Amino acid sequence: MILKASQRGGSRQLATHLLKTEENEHVDIHEIRGFMASALDGALHEAYAMSRNTRCSKFLFSVSLNPPEAEYVPTDVFENTLDRIEKKLNLDNQPRVVVFHEKEGRRHAHCVWSRINTDEMKAVHLSHYKNKLMDISKQLYLENDWDMPKGFIDKNLKSPLNFTRQEWQQALRTDQNPKVIKATLQRELLYL
């Protein structure tokens, strides 16, 4: 399972993205935990309000959980993965929301934690979170007997057609397929 994460602000934009039905066939708010609000946008705004009592501008930690294309992953595997992430990153008992999206028949999940520890009124420090998430991701591939991406085995084998989130979003805004754009650019580089 590919785990992509970021520390961020922008609670309203994130709530809008998570609830967006134009890009997703199904949106299921699976869990809202630790917030007073019972709606997703209210919960994320609550995290913003708590951050106002600190100097933290990136008060949210957002993770997307993307299983291999050909695999159906049961809800309990997603939940177990979220528990692992919480333990590894010291996010235990932090407020969180979990949303499932289904897009073109593929189910994936998003989890957003508030980083603000309300007892201490400071943000949970997330050192080396990308490396820690990579470790969890590799374990999931091995435990579930999924074909591990070559880039996980050796970084030099990473696909040159991979694109950043920014490239993906820019292509979508212009109604283009990001994979086609990247492949075209790669082909042109070969001829230079």
Nearest to 118 by CA among 56, 184, 170, 72: 56
Domain 2-154 coded CATH 3.30.930: yes
Which SS3 state, helix, strand or coil, does residue 127 take? Answer: coil
**Token pair recorded at residue 18:** 């998570």
Q: Has residue 62 got a pLDDT over 90?
A: yes
Q: Is residue 55 classed as helix, strand or coil in its secondary structure?
A: coil
Do 34 and 95 meet the contact criterion of CB atoms below 8 Å apart? yes
Per-residue pLDDT of 44-61, as tens digits, reads: 999 999 999 999 999 999
Average pLDDT over the chain, rounded to an integer: 87
Which alpha helices (DSSP H) does the chain contain, by range? 11-19, 40-51, 75-89, 129-143, 150-153, 165-173, 178-190
> What residue segments make up the domains of the chain, in order of their start?
2-154, 159-192
Give the span between the Cα atoms of 5 and 63, in whole angstroms.
4
List 6's β-bridge partners, or say none: 62
| Distance from C-alpha of 124 to C-alpha of 116, rounded to nearest angstrom | 6
pLDDT at position 139 is 94
Q: Which amino acid appears at position 1 of this protein? A: M
Per-residue pLDDT of 66-76, as tens digits, reads: 999 888 899 99
